[in-house]
A = this chain, B = another copy of it.
Amino acid sequence: MDGAVADADLVLECAPEKLALKQQVFAELERLAPAEAVLASSSSMLKISDIAGALASRRRCLVLHPGNPPTLIRFIEVVPAPFTDAATLARVEDWLAAAGVAALRIGKEVEGFVFNRLQGAVLREAYCLVRDGVADVETIDTIMRDGLGLRWSVIGPFETVDLNTRGGIASHAEKMGPAYRRMGQERGQDDPWTPELVGAVTRQRRERLPLEGWAERVAWRDAELMRLVAARKGAR
């Protein structure tokens, strides 16, 4: 490790997802890397607060979580701790911009960040559906791949429901929210979509897409999906 990091500006630690191991690697990095090098972890779940919170130079530590395969997923979750300083964030975001990788700043440290929170929600539900005899593994994978995943590769989950309901996401939450709430309650979850929360989400969507542009965006979505479906023909 000594030779590898002696002249580094940025170190991206990619050890297995084990807290004690990553803590040990970071303690060594602090000793071996230049004093101004940024020390980043590619952790997909663990917080930098837990990995590097005890280090004297923790202000230069943060998580940079790439999706897998990292050569093809062109963004990185940038997850600072409260102790990460602004200069470290600025340097990292400059480097990512230069590399053509989108830096997606996560506002608050939670286990799994956003990528694996969303993935975990799907996996937990998927395992329940197999357990309960609702569908087998291949049926679930097909419904995701040829349905939800196809759509979500063009537009994310909020834009999807925004475009699926005339009147946009506020109308969707009003019409479908109670059913989704019941499904959550069956799993022990009760996080209601309050008027305040739906209002905040709606404002953010309407900034991106005023309702006047809704029909045009629906047509764009359909054209994009057609392109993708055509591109996939014969691929499998």
| B235–A224 CB distance below 8 A | yes
| B184–A139 CB distance below 8 A | no
Task: Write out the residue numbers on chain B whose beta carbons fall within 8 Å of the beta carbon of A222.
Answer: 69, 71-72
CB proximity of A55 to chain B, nearest CB, Å: 23
Task: Report the Cα distance A152→B121, complex, angstroms.
Answer: 14
Copy total for this chain = 2
Q: Interface residues of A, CB < 8 Å — how many? A: 100
A216 at the interface (CB under 8 A from B): no
| A145–B154 CB distance below 8 A | yes
| B141–A157 CB distance below 8 A | yes
| A197–B127 CB distance below 8 A | yes
Over the window 145-168 of chain A, the binary record of Cβ atoms lying under 8 Å from chain B Cβ atoms (1 yes, 0 no) is: 111111111111111110010000
| A115–B147 CB distance below 8 A | yes
| A180–B104 CB distance below 8 A | no
Could you jot down 14 A-B contacts, CB within 8 Å? A73-B147, A75-B146, A114-B129, A120-B184, A124-B189, A127-B193, A131-B191, A140-B158, A141-B159, A144-B152, A145-B153, A145-B154, A149-B153, A150-B153
